[in-house]
Amino acid sequence: METRGKRPNGQHHGDLRHALEQAALELMAAKGVGGFTLAEASRRAGVSVAAPYKHFADRDALLAALVLRAYQDQRERYRAAMGSVADPVEQLAAFAAAYVRFAIEQRALFELTFAAGLDKRRYPELVTAGADLLAVLDAPARALRDDDQQARGLVLSVAACAHGHAVFLLEGVLGGVVEQACRHAAENARRLAAPAVRE
């Protein structure tokens, strides 16, 4: 059932939860992860300052919902990118490129994933979602490595490589050329994975 909240002008808001999440993302894009309050998100969404508490206990609960959304969005993107190729090395390369692209296209969500400062003991669903996200790399990694420890090491290496390229691109280290950064991330993922198929 659709949740409706009243705007300050007395009109109803069609999807309060989504509007608050979007307002929070816009504020984070402008001010950084720590740069907004629930009251500011309410004003930007055009609802009363009491409205958020229909869905979120506090600011951290809103951030947690956004982090969960980020994990789920990334997982869908990475699975789609990896599903376009059959070779496990190319699947890891496709992941790395998609990771960099997500960081650029959804910068606020990307940065929030690592900078929200949430106590994950309070939000165990984030731990599960984060593990599910990395799990998309398990099948190709296991196809390329002989045991679980080596496969896990490859997953972490490829993810760290992709993350480094994404952060360098966002910080201007790579000159801001998105497609070039995606290619470099993919090439380095191939280098990390390829030795196992040459033995």
User: Largest Cα–Cα distance in the chain?
Assistant: 69
Inside any domain, residue 174:
yes
Inside any domain, residue 175:
yes
Which band of pLDDT confidence, cut at 50, 70 and 90, is reported for residue 163? very high
Which band of pLDDT confidence, cut at 50, 70 and 90, is reported for residue 184? very high
Beta strands in the chain (DSSP E): 5-6, 12-13
The answer on 68 and 23 residing in a single domain is no
Inside any domain, residue 18:
yes
Inside any domain, residue 99:
yes
Inside any domain, residue 167:
yes
How much is the pLDDT for 9? 39
How much is the pLDDT for 37? 84
Tell me, what DSSP letter sits at residue 50? T
Q: What global pTM score does this model have? A: 0.84
- Return d(Cα 141, Cα 128) in angstroms, integer: 20
- Return d(Cα 156, Cα 135) in angstroms, integer: 11
- The torsion region of residue 52 among left (phi > 0), alpha (psi -120 to 50) and beta comes to alpha
pLDDT in tens, 79-120: 999 999 999 999 999 999 999 999 999 998 998 898 888 888
The answer on 64 and 49 residing in a single domain is no
The answer on 174 and 96 residing in a single domain is yes
How much is the pLDDT for 3? 41
How much is the pLDDT for 189? 97
The answer on 111 and 27 residing in a single domain is no
Inside any domain, residue 48:
yes
pLDDT of residue 1 exceeding 80, the answer is no
The answer on 152 and 70 residing in a single domain is yes
The answer on 101 and 24 residing in a single domain is no
The answer on 132 and 44 residing in a single domain is no
pLDDT of residue 199 exceeding 70, the answer is no
Inside any domain, residue 135:
yes
Inside any domain, residue 3:
no
The answer on 88 and 46 residing in a single domain is no
- Domain containing residue 47: 11-56
The CA-based angle 44-50-53, given to 5 degrees, is: 100
How much is the pLDDT for 195? 62
How crowded is residue 60: how many other Cβ atoms within 10 Å of its Cβ? 15
Exposure of 8 in the CB half-sphere (CA atoms within 13 A): 10
CATH number of the domain bearing residue 134 = 1.10.357.10
CATH number of the domain bearing residue 21 = 1.10.10
- Return d(Cα 24, Cα 161) in angstroms, integer: 29
How much is the pLDDT for 6? 45
Which band of pLDDT confidence, cut at 50, 70 and 90, is reported for residue 123? very high
Tally the domains of the chain.
2
Concatenating the DSSP letter of every residue in 102-153 gives HHHHTHHHHHHHHHS---TTT-HHHHHHHHHHHGGGHHHHHHHSSSHHHHHH
